[in-house]
């Protein structure tokens, strides 16, 4: 079963715009991670935020975590065509030791 659910399922924006996607989950977590998957490739880790953190930045990425609402958001600023990919959140649940559960993903298309 999927722990995280991303919203929206698909997102289409133009270069230079910001892209925001959300992830909701069901149980307590140790950390939440975001991954990117380009078409036909494996997943690549983007950023990890721990349950005691509220916000984290990495380059053009900004991740927030609200454990009271069991939700996270990923913001990509000043998007580029190369950001076109599927983005997945993954949760390391407190009661599922070692199991990183992935959501269904958000498909992002950035047009030049």
Partner 1 sequence: DAGVIQSPRHEVTEMGQEVTLRCKPISGHDYLFWYRQTMMRGLELLIYFNNNVPIDDSGMPEDRFSAKMPNASFSTLKIQPSEPRDSAVYFCASSSFLGQSIEKLFFGSGTQLSVL
Binding window for partner 1 (CB under 8 A); candidates: 7-15, 20-28, 31-39, 66-74: 31-39
Rounded-to-integer distance, Cα 36 and Cα 97, Å: 23
Rounded-to-integer distance, Cα 95 and Cα 29, Å: 8
* Pick 39 or 112: Cβ nearer partner 1: 39
Residue from 20, 22, 24, 31 touching partner 1 (CB under 8 A): that is 31
**Residue 101 binding partner 1, by CB under 8 A:** yes
Sequence-ordered list of residues with C-beta below 8 angstroms from that of 20, at least 6 positions apart, any chain: 73, 74, 75, 76
Residue from 70, 85, 88, 89 touching partner 1 (CB under 8 A): that is 88
* Pick 11 or 29: Cβ nearer partner 1: 29
Rounded-to-integer distance, Cα 56 and Cα 54, Å: 7
CB of 89 closer than 8 Å to CB of 6: yes
List of residues contacting partner 1 (CB under 8 A)? 2, 30-31, 33, 35, 41-45, 48, 50, 88, 90, 92, 98-105
């Amino acid at each position: 079963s999927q722990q995280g659910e991303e919203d929206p399922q698909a997102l289409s924006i133009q270069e230079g715009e910001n892209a925001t996607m959300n992830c909701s989950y069901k149980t307590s977590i140790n950390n939440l991670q975001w991954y990117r998957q380009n078409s036909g490739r494996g997943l690549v880790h983007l950023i990890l935020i721990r349950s005691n953190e509220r916000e984290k930045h990495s380059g053009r990425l900004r991740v927030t975590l609200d454990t009271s609402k069991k939700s996270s958001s990923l913001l990509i600023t000043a998007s580029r065509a190369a950001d076109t990919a599927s983005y997945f959140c993954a949760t390391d649940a407190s009661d599922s030791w070692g199991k990183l559960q992935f959501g269904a993903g958000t498909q992002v298309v950035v047009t030049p």
